[in-house]
């Protein structure tokens, strides 16, 4: 959220530090802008488990009502459950108060269109114009919107997910699943979903606590040691960890190994393509080449996008693609809803395990193996574009993509992505190769090249 540059929305809705950047007053005003954009429509509002979420939900509802919008208030729920509710109840849109995986002092506002998918950048700009030009349409006293309570959305969401998997086949396996709910909204839906799939469920960090006392709400491998240990200690079949609003899920196999999201996504992709050959698979350019390997082997076509979940959703919508996935654990299953959804992803993984009668470690072990290394090089914001032009110029003739930064694929299946950070004055590097040494060497080689280019541009 950068108010002085007249921008509210970032890559994933509006985000800010509570009561410093994102105050209740500002949130009422944002609610008025959103309400004016929806022109007296009916919206579902809900929120995550953060300490500030009920307060900010009330503020946004006040703004929506003031501009004549009716609100169905669904309370605390996973973001994908709220998104599904918008589609399921055929309302005009929705507002979700959440800062997803950010630290507890943050919160955010996500605006959803009537199909359950986040609004487009063009629509965000319309809301920003209303906000910054202060042209909200306040309703007359007799047309102020009403608020009603909406119950049952989590059960509806669970029911919808179950329709996309073979419930009886999964139930026969009696899988033991450990759920790490990050002390947040996953706890409200996922254990119940899994019990409905006949699983035995052990939960950790499943008490709702907006201070996130157990681990940061970002499901990065270093935050999931307790989950991995628990899976091993009780001989569970699988472990799954969620982020703060339960749209991302990261899996741990029965040996306690934690797997990055593009690997589990590639597994889902493989079985999806076996049943639906020829389909388009949407994934950000930062994902592993594994996604392409699987598509090549099983008759799919990968569409690489810019990094960001909203871009993946909108690309799926535009191309009528049914499957998308990110390396951070976002899986988008279009037949349910083209948004990332941790509960849906968990059901899909169990469905594959039951269908193949194989453990998660052996299923993932069958996929091509890659080693990933990351790096960063400092670069002043004002030079980023010039630097990018230079990189593109110098990599002409190679097998590249310039959809977001520059990615180069080499003959030996290794690759390097150099991408300017959207938030910090630096370039991020992602290398991937068949050996760890090669991935490290690529980071080293291209960090030097990038530094040289930055120096030359600096002049």
Q: What are phi and psi of 275, to 5 degrees?
A: -90, -25
Min CB(95)–Mg ion separation in Å = 16
- Which CB atom, from 243 or from 432, has the smaller least distance to Mg ion? 243
Q: Which window, 89-97, 204-212, 240-248, 430-438, contacts Mg ion (CB under 5 A)?
A: 240-248
Is residue 326 a contact residue for Mg ion (CB under 5 A)? Answer: no
Min CB(173)–Mg ion separation in Å = 29
Is residue 245 a contact residue for Mg ion (CB under 5 A)? Answer: yes
- Which CB atom, from 186 or from 268, has the smaller least distance to Mg ion? 186
Please report the DSSP string for 294-321 in residue order: HHHHTT-EEEEE-SSHHHHHHHHHHHT-
Q: Which window, 133-141, 172-180, 238-246, 442-450, contacts Mg ion (CB under 5 A)?
A: 238-246
What does the longest C-alpha to C-alpha distance in the chain come to? 70
Q: Which window, 96-104, 145-153, 177-185, 209-217, contacts Mg ion (CB under 5 A)?
A: 96-104
Binding-residue total with Mg ion (CB under 5 A): 4
Is residue 243 a contact residue for Mg ion (CB under 5 A)? Answer: yes
Nearest alpha carbon to residue 177 among 350, 418, 4: 350
- Which CB atom, from 102 or from 230, has the smaller least distance to Mg ion? 102
Collect all residues with Cβ–Cβ distance below 8 Å to 372 and sequence separation of at least 6.
260, 288, 430, 431, 432, 439
- Which CB atom, from 247 or from 293, has the smaller least distance to Mg ion? 247
**Which position among 52, 53, 100, 414 bears the catalytic label?**
100
Min CB(340)–Mg ion separation in Å = 7
Nearest alpha carbon to residue 312 among 293, 296, 298, 328: 328
DSSP 77: -
Cα–Cα distance measured from residue 372 to residue 435, given in angstroms and rounded to the nearest whole number: 9
Is 100 labeled as catalytic in the residue annotation? yes
Cβ count near 143 (within 10 Å): 10
Q: Which window, 129-137, 245-253, 257-265, 438-446, contacts Mg ion (CB under 5 A)?
A: 245-253
Secondary element (H or E) of residue 333: strand 331-333
Is residue 309 a contact residue for Mg ion (CB under 5 A)? Answer: no
Min CB(218)–Mg ion separation in Å = 9
Cα–Cα distance measured from residue 10 to residue 16, given in angstroms and rounded to the nearest whole number: 10
Q: Take residue 64 and report the two structure tokens written for it.
A: 């929506």
Min CB(250)–Mg ion separation in Å = 12
Which residues inside 339-398 make contact with Mg ion, applying CB under 5 A?
none
Which residues inside 178-217 make contact with Mg ion, applying CB under 5 A?
none
- Which CB atom, from 244 or from 300, has the smaller least distance to Mg ion? 244
Contacts with Mg ion, 247-286, as mask; x by CB under 5 A: x---------------------------------------
Q: Which window, 28-36, 41-49, 242-250, 280-288, contacts Mg ion (CB under 5 A)?
A: 242-250
Chain-centre distance of CA 350, in angstroms? 20
- Which CB atom, from 105 or from 301, has the smaller least distance to Mg ion? 105
- Which CB atom, from 110 or from 384, has the smaller least distance to Mg ion? 110
Residue 450 CA: distances (Å) to CA of 5, 27, 228, 351, 454: 29, 41, 37, 44, 6
Among 36, 53, 83, 100, binds Mg ion (CB under 5 A): 100
3-state secondary structure 350-367: HHHHHHHCCCHHHHHHCC
Q: Which window, 54-62, 87-95, 98-106, 432-440, contacts Mg ion (CB under 5 A)?
A: 98-106
DSSP 5: G
Min CB(417)–Mg ion separation in Å = 22
- Which CB atom, from 100 or from 415, has the smaller least distance to Mg ion? 100
Min CB(101)–Mg ion separation in Å = 5
User: Is-contact 418 402, C-beta < 8 A?
Assistant: no
Q: Take residue 210 and report the two structure tokens written for it.
A: 């907006």
Cα–Cα distance measured from residue 19 to residue 26, given in angstroms and rounded to the nearest whole number: 9
Cα–Cα distance measured from residue 325 to residue 71, given in angstroms and rounded to the nearest whole number: 32
- Closest residue to Mg ion: CB criterion: 100
Instruction: Point out the residues that are catalytic.
Output: 100
- Per CB under 5 A, residues contacting Mg ion are 100, 243, 245, 247
């Amino acid at each position: 959220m950068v108010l002085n540059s007249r921008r509210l929305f970032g890559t994933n809705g509006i985000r800010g530090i509570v009561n410093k950047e994102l105050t209740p007053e500002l949130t009422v005003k944002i609610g008025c802008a959103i309400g004016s954009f929806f022109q007296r429509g009916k919206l579902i509002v809900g929120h995550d488990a953060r300490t500030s979420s009920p307060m900010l939900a009330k503020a946004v509802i006040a703004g929506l009502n003031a501009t004549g919008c009716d609100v169905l208030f669904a309370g605390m729920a996973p973001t994908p459950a709220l998104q599904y509710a918008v589609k399921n109840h055929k309302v005009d849109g929705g507002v979700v108060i959440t800062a997803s995986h950010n630290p507890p002092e943050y919160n955010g506002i996500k605006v959803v269109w009537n199909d359950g998918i986040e609004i487009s950048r063009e629509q965000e700009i319309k809301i920003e114009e209303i906000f910054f030009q202060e042209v909200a349409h306040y309703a007359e006293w007799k047309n102020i919107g009403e608020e009603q309570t909406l119950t049952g959305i989590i059960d509806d969401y669970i029911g919808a997910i179950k329709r996309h998997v073979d419930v009886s086949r999964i139930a026969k396996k009696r899988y033991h699943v450990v759920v790490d709910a990050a002390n947040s909204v996953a706890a409200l839906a996922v254990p119940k979903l899994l019990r409905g799939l006949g699983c035995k469920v052990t939960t950790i960090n499943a008490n709702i606590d907006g201070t996130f006392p157990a681990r940061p709400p970002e499901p990065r491998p270093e935050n999931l040691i307790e989950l991995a240990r628990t899976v091993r200690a009780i001989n569970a079949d699988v472990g799954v960890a969620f982020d703060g609003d339960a749209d991302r899920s990261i899996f741990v196999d029965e040996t306690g190994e934690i797997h990055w999201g593009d690997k589990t996504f590639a597994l889902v992709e493989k079985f999806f393509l076996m049943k639906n050959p020829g389909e388009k698979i949407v994934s950000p350019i930062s994902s592993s080449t594994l996604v392409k390997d699987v598509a090549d082997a099983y008759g799919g076509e990968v569409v690489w996008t810019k990094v960001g979940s909203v871009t993946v959703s909108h690309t799926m919508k535009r191309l009528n693609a049914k499957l998308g996935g990110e390396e951070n654990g976002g899986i988008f299953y279009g037949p349910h809803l083209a948004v990332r959804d941790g509960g849906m992803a968990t059901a899909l993984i169990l469905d594959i395990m039951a269908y193949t009668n194989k453990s998660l470690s052996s299923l993932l072990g069958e996929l091509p193996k890659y080693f990933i290394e990351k790096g960063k090089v400092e670069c002043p914001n004002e030079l980023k574009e010039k630097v990018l032009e230079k990189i593109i110029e110098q990599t002409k003739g190679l097998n590249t993509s310039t959809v977001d930064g520059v990615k180069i694929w080499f003959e030996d299946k290794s690759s390097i992505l150099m991408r300017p950070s959207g938030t910090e004055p630096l370039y991020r590097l992602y290398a991937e190769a068949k050996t760890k040494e090669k991935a490290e060497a690529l980071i080293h080689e291209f960090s030097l090249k990038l530094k040289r280019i930055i120096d030359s541009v600096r002049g």
